Structure 1
Amino acid sequence: MPLILIAIIIVFLIVAYFTRRGADTRACRWRKNASRDKGSLHYYRCAACGAEAYTATKDTPKDCKSKVTSRPL
């Protein structure tokens, strides 16, 4: 009986880990705006949080940028 309980707890932890793993980007819906590209940098804006990002590849950003703040020069 204790082995079954331990197995259930381990399975629960594994499932919780895999469902939480991609939570940072799940809410973001990136939209490309080609008119704001700068050379080889591609501009994206998130429809959910309003964050803006540039990427060097044509793939959407992997992380949510809503909590990123710019530093003064």
Structure 2
Amino acid sequence: MLYLLIALVVFGAVLVWNRRHGMTRNCRWREDRAGSKGALIKYNCVTCGAEAFRSTGKPDTCLSRLNKPGL
């Protein structure tokens, strides 16, 4: 019974961690100082090619889906 409880706790922890970090796993953001505009810093994703402007810190989600048109 104890092993089942431990397995459920570990499984839950893995799900929570994956949900928090799953959207940025493939993105690698690089700062582009030449493209910055005032207080907004431009970031380019090396992996998917997305561009983002942020005033604080690197983007925390993958924006590649925003660049692709839907059906």
Runs (5+) with no aligned partner, structure 1: none
Deviations 1:26-48 (A, max 9, x none): 21101111111111111010000
- Name the structure 1 match of 2:66: 68
The whole-number CA distance in structure 2 between the counterparts of 1:63 and 1:56 is 15
The whole-number CA distance in structure 2 between the counterparts of 1:5 and 1:33 is 49
TM-score when normalising by structure 1: 0.74
- Name the structure 1 match of 2:14: 15
- CA positional deviation for 1:3: 5.2
Cα RMSD (Å): 2.0
What pairs up with 1:33-52 in 2 under 5 angstroms?
33-52=32-51
The whole-number CA distance in structure 1 between the counterparts of 2:10 and 2:29 is 33
Q: Aligned residues, how many?
A: 67
* Structure whose CA Rg is larger: 1
The whole-number CA distance in structure 2 between the counterparts of 1:4 and 1:31 is 44
- CA positional deviation for 1:6: 4.0
Deviations 1:12-68 (A, max 9, x none): 2222322x12110121101111111111111010000000000012x1111111112
SS of 1:64's equivalent in the other structure is coil
Greater share of strand residues, 1 or 2?
2
TM-score when normalising by structure 2: 0.75
